Amino acid sequence: MISFRILQESKKSRARLGLLKTPHGEVQTPTLVPVATQATVKAMTADQVLATGTQLLICNTYHLHLRPGEGIVKKHGGLHAFMHWPRPLMTDSGGFQVFSLGFGMDRGTTKILKEDKRPIIKPGSQPKLVRIDERGVTFRSYIDGKKLYLDPKSSMRIQAALGADIAFAFDECPPPQATRAYHEESLRRTHRWAELSLNEHSKKQALYGIVQGGKYQDLRQKSALFIGKLGFEGFGIGGEFGASKPEMIRMIRWVTDTLPEEKPRHLLGIGYPEDIPKIIRAGVDTFDCIVPTHYARRGIAFVAKGRLDLKRRSCLNDHRPIDAACACPTCKNYSRAYLTHLLRAHEITPLTLITFHNLFWFNAYVARIREGIRRGTV
């Protein structure tokens, strides 16, 4: 199904240059994995995504289960055919969305990292909209209120129907407000669900196990050890990553130091440009992230010096491209002034043009880091 070969290991850090082979082609790692939540990268055609240098996409099992339903995708020949994406694909397990709909929604946020001073979540605590038990989770569709159920078996069945190259085990992603005792209880569940996922998963796709354990070093290491010994073909690193960036890197290292070296590691949902060299030096091979696409649709372009807010009126007289050093078609063909005009006029086109730039820019940025590993500078 998939194979992973480490081509070069950094002598300066835990970074490694790898080659991930899948039924839909090869992926040079480390690499960014842009999100195609509902089977499309928002505001982009598949051909445009290919032209940004994107090697691998991740789709969302939870969203696609709710709409259009995995049956429709399967009858269509699977996600690759459905979305006209010829390269490798991942699907997450749906766990993160279900849990962020639970405790996250109760607290008015779906962000795992958000600080919250309200009462902590203890063993036995239950969110309002989601019912968690040892077997799985019951929740309601945000689209039509229909009662739904997800467990390791159904997550594997849905992911098999979607047919990505790489699926993820069904896990619980506990919120940062959870006590240590809750984390221990949740981790036991996640580990049992990992074994069940492995038993249930389609042999036609690779399966990654997910390491949890919150901000606790012993739990993270215990999880990496347990998940690392099961028969997964790669690993996801999920959950919260502490209150600060240095803490995040420390926590990733606890995991990457413990996981088997020879298998690929995917960091779930992380990746501002300033984080990327750090997570790669901490030993991460792939990482999915909404940052390039999400910011683009809010008019924010990434450039060498940081972020450029193209909604700003002052850009209307700026005839320069977003980034003069960028080789993307948006930078070759369009000015900041034009993009700013289109954003201010509430047009759709700039969302595409800026998304193109951001994805191209992120991919070029990560390609330079790969080159740095090759040359021994990262």
Give the binding range for its own copies (CB under 8 A) out of 18-26, 74-82, 175-183, 284-292: 74-82
Nearer to its own copies, 40 or 202 (CB): 40
Query: What does the alpha-carbon distance between residue 310 and residue 341 come to, in Å, rounded to a whole number?
Result: 9
Q: Which is nearer to its own copies, 81 or 181 (CB)?
A: 81
Q: Name the region of 139 (left: φ>0; alpha: ψ -120 to 50; beta: rest).
A: beta
From the list 5-13, 105-113, 231-239, 350-358, the region that binds its own copies by CB under 8 A is 350-358
Angle at 64 between CA 29 and CA 170, to 5 degrees: 65
Binding to its own copies (CB under 8 A): which residues in 303-322? 316-317, 319
User: Could you list the active site residues?
Assistant: 92, 288
In the complex with its own copies, which residue's Cβ is closer, 68 or 260? 68
Ramachandran area for residue 67 (φ above 0: left; ψ -120 to 50: alpha; else beta)? beta
Cα–Cα distance for residue pair 30/23, rounded to 1 Å: 19
Distance CA 184, CA 199 (A): 23
Q: Closest distance between its own copies and the C-beta of residue 39, in Å?
A: 7
Q: Which is nearer to its own copies, 82 or 254 (CB)?
A: 82
Member of 32, 41, 130, 187 binding its own copies (CB under 8 A): 41
Looking at the Cβ atoms of 197 and 335, the one nearer to its own copies is: 335
Which x/- pattern, by CB under 8 A, does the window 44-73 give for its own copies? Answer: xxxx---------------x---xx---x-
Residues between 233 and 292 with contacts to its own copies, criterion CB under 8 A: none
Token pair of 106, please? 């109760």
Structure tokens at 230: 């099961």
The enclosing H or E element of 218 equals helix 217-229
Q: Is 230 exposed, middle or buried (0-12, 13-18, 19+ CB in 10 A)?
A: middle
* Residue 39 contacts its own copies per CB under 8 A: yes
CA angle, 149 then 155 then 157, to 5° = 110
**Residues near its own copies (CB under 8 A):** 38-47, 63, 67-68, 72, 75-76, 82-84, 297, 316-317, 319, 329, 333-335, 337-338, 340-342, 344-345, 347-349, 351-353
